Structure 1
Amino acid sequence: MQCPNCQSTESGLSFKLPRHLQDIIIRDFIHHNSSYTWNKNILHTTETASNDLVDFLREMNLDSKVFFKAPYKDWLSLDRFDEYRHSSWLDDLIESKNIQMYFQPIIARNGKIYAYEMLARFFDDEGTIIYPDKVFPAAKLRGRTFALDRLCRMQGVRQVKRLYDHQKAFINFIPTAIYEPEYCLRTTTALAESLSIESSRFIFEVVETEKVDDVEHLKSILTYYRNNGFNYALDDVGSGYNTLGLLDELKPPYIKLDMTVTQGVSRSTKKQAIASSFLSTAKKYGALCLAEGIEDIKDFKWLKEKGYDLFQGYLFGKPLPDPLEEKVIDLNQF
């Protein structure tokens, strides 16, 4: 099966137009010598011609009931076209690979640095940082989620060489960006092998902000990782989408308790109940439980006493461009 995400990005956009606009649009495209194809009420044309088309439709007040889409993406109303047009900087960022991975420590109960989460930071041509909450929505809008996800994943794999031999790496991935694991993930496997890094040192996190609608597809991805010796984690557990049933079905070797539950858990009986439920379910099949977003020593002590295994948050270290020289975080300082 050929994965459409793995092919070169198809140029141009498609427009769904009312039938009565067909003659008007064709005359305009012929007048401007613009390239296009027309199939029923769907027009496909270049991105440059798309800009002219939208400007024309708006000027002539013909833009109602018009929709557009990037390759392999959903239809969007035309009022989002400016958002799409202004996100073209994302293509340059991907092509120039203006990305750097930051390292945030993940500690064991005794303070030993068990792993780092690899967090992508992006930069424009002037070196100004662009945060993921701007980059990933732009990639989704432009149909470049696969390319961006792959760029981050591959860069994260490369950085493991900078860690101590016993330390692992948590690397995020977006399930909906992966069409067919055999095609989309084999470069990840090949890169780890070429760097002589044991696959067991990688934990790939399911980024839950991309809600998982197709559990069977996610299972196929996780099966591929497991069959190639990688571990995986379910991220943001407890934040709203995940359920105890999903944990039972996927049985991830690692779960990460979301910071919305972690922060203030020592003072909230509601959060304590959520944290205890996920811990109990995970322990049934031997998963390691990681609490993220820890900023308060009281929350850390409560979670540690309850049986959580791993901990991450500003209390122990913020994301930095380099991993720490020390191998252990001194917990007596808190």
Structure 2
Amino acid sequence: MNSQSEATTLFQDILATGAVHSVYQPIVSLQDGQVMGYEALIRGPQDSMFQSPIAMFEFAEQNGELYKLEQLAREKAIQGSILEHPQQLLFINISSHVLYDPGFVPGKTLDILLKYGLKPSNVVFEITERTSIEDFTLAQKILEHYRKQGYRIAIDDAGAGYSSLQAIAELQPDFIKIDRSLIENIHKHKVKEYILETFVTIAHKMNISIIAEGIEIPDELAKLTRLGVHYAQGFLLGKPQKVPADIQDSLRMLIGQHRKVQGGHMNWHIGDLKTPVKTFDKKSPISEVADYFKKNQEAVGAVIVSNEEPVGLMMRERLFQQLAGQYAFSLFWNRTIESIMDETPLIVDEFTSVEQVSQMATSRSIHHLYDLVIITTNGKMAGIASIRSILESITNVRMESARVANPLTGLPGNLQINRELNRRIHEQKPFHVVYADLDYFKWFNDRFGFQKGDQLIQYTADIMQQAISVCGTPLDFVGHVGGDDFIAISVAAEPELLCQEMIRRFEQGVQMFYEDEEWEYVWDRSGNKVKSEGVTLSLSLVVCSCESPISLEDISQTAAGLKKKAKAYPGSIYYFQNIG
């Protein structure tokens, strides 16, 4: 028997006996470090020529058996599914060729899901780039059919295949998975960082979530978290296994530390807007819910729960539309509410930012645009927020920020800075204040012009925020006192590292503003001639231990003394002092 016939015999045996199994790799949120879902990955019989999924799928494609293998893989993925709660997702790979296969008919996947207690809302079809999509119009129609059933779509290997951008534009997926080739050592490659930033911007505008694949080292994870990538996957977070281990606490802490900081803007959480709402168990009869809405005319919706966890939403208007038909009343009246509830409402954790929830809510289909947003605490039901309350809060915050922010940098101005300092003093918890000031800025402005001067101010604002992102925490604050003076308020564990990072970043980029000009002397604000290579950065670090009472005046006076010391030193430097 030749090797080809051996392979055919083994492959047919695999199909006949279902001799494959699934392993699952976690996909982790870069907002809170929780597992959002799992990608199911197929494995062949151990110690056989088809143990590798690549060899098995290549053989199937060459021999016209791709659909049968993918169907088996889907069933095994669902059968072994390890989803821990109804909001987690199962990512199942399908190649684009299978979309056009006559055997890829509606209903088969749904039957398997129901058999194992899952719903379409738990499943994401991940379209792989093994083969490029040839007919986008047809693919669109097929995928739209699945979307209407509740499935979601992901484009895999974005950044590796030549057709990825077209696939994103034409199919408008719910998720984009960024290929390992763009993720590897991203903390060392500015070009990769810029490309990924572009993906994040596109995704933000299209309400698509980004998943970075192939993360293997903490530096990659930290960089991706700071860039605002939504989710991450890779050996660092968890290898594909039948029963994956939990995410390490140290990695969750790293994600929390580097989570994208909204540099100084007022950052409200959706939990601040939550209000109580009536809940019903999913087994409650429809008649009970209808009676509640009849007796409470002001109630626009109710949340459906199971063991205190939200599993659905029932809006008043939609319920009465369901009951309005000629026979609907008698047909539905005694059935349970889970049979007609919305199974895929918008459910968010209480610490999700109001801005992020607004984007998620307003990008829903027109039929669900004004549905209530369900808010949870540790996965349990906590309350709801209406679209009106969300939009009003954002409008108020933006008006307030615009009124008091610095017009050049957009950073909070003196009113917000004083509020923030007073809040920290009142809390009586340790914090640090870094005052930053540019040396010889007047000389630079006079020599290179006001436009270049404004650019240098904006650059300083950027490096302050970047340093906070790298060495600070999500609770830190950056403000613009005015002119070339800035402030950072931080609870970072090592404030001196924060100052060093600010100086490093400033020195790294300030040369680009000099247009290759050379000089030996500059002039200070008093018109004195000083030997210097150009603009430098002076930092005053005031470490507030808060073991005894301190005031704004104490901080200001200490910083002024440190600033005088720093200004007397040639070059960029920081001085620090403990108070309180």
Question: So what's the TM-score if we normalise by structure 1?
Answer: 0.69
Q: Which residue of 2 aligns with 1:87?
A: 7
Q: Distance in 1 between matches of 2:44 and 2:159?
A: 28
| Cα displacement string for residues 165-224 of structure 1 (whole angstroms, at most 9, x for unaligned residues) | 132111101121233578534210122133331321111100111222221232123112
Residue 153 (structure 2) pairs with residue 232 (structure 1) = yes
Residue 34 (structure 2) pairs with residue 112 (structure 1) = yes
Q: Is the 8 A contact 2:125 2:153 kept in 1?
A: yes
Q: Distance in 1 between matches of 2:180 and 2:103?
A: 33
Q: Is the 8 A contact 2:129 2:161 kept in 1?
A: no
Q: Which residue of 2 aligns with 1:192?
A: 113
Q: Is the 8 A contact 2:177 2:213 kept in 1?
A: yes
Q: Distance in 1 between matches of 2:250 and 2:97?
A: 39
The two structures, once aligned, show a CA RMSD in angstroms of 2.4
Structure 1 residues 132 and 99, CA, compared in 2 at 3 Å: closer, same or farther? same
Deviation at 1:269, TM superposition (A): 2.1
Structure 1 residues 300 and 159, CA, compared in 2 at 3 Å: closer, same or farther? same
Q: Which residue of 2 aligns with 1:71?
A: none
Identity of aligned residues (%): 27
Q: Which residue of 1 aligns with 2:43?
A: 121
Letter in 2 for 1:291: A
Q: Distance in 2 between matches of 1:207 and 1:243?
A: 10
Match of 2:162 among 241, 244, 249: 241
Match of 1:272 among 193, 198, 203: 193
Residue 63 (structure 2) pairs with residue 142 (structure 1) = yes
| Cα displacement string for residues 131-166 of structure 1 (whole angstroms, at most 9, x for unaligned residues) | 111101111121110100111012112223x32013
SS at match of 1:169: strand
Q: Which residue of 1 aligns with 2:223?
A: 302
SS at match of 1:140: helix
The gaps in structure 2 that reach 5 residues or longer are 255-580
Larger radius of gyration: 2
Q: Is the 8 A contact 1:111 1:328 kept in 2?
A: no
Q: Is the 8 A contact 1:112 1:328 kept in 2?
A: no
Letter in 1 for 2:34: K
Matches within 5 A, 1:148-297: 148-160=69-81, 162-165=82-85, 166-179=87-100, 184-297=105-218
Q: Is the 8 A contact 1:113 1:329 kept in 2?
A: no
Deviation at 1:117, TM superposition (A): 0.7
SS at match of 2:7: coil
SS at match of 2:27: strand
Q: Distance in 1 between matches of 2:138 and 2:130?
A: 16
Question: So what's the TM-score if we normalise by structure 2?
Answer: 0.41
Match of 1:320 among 241, 261, 268: 241
Matches within 5 A, 1:22-41: none
Q: Which residue of 1 aligns with 2:291?
A: none
Report runs of 4+ in structure 1 exceeding 4 Å deviation. 126-129, 180-183, 327-330
The gaps in structure 1 that reach 5 residues or longer are 1-50, 52-81
SS at match of 1:277: helix
Aligned residues: 251
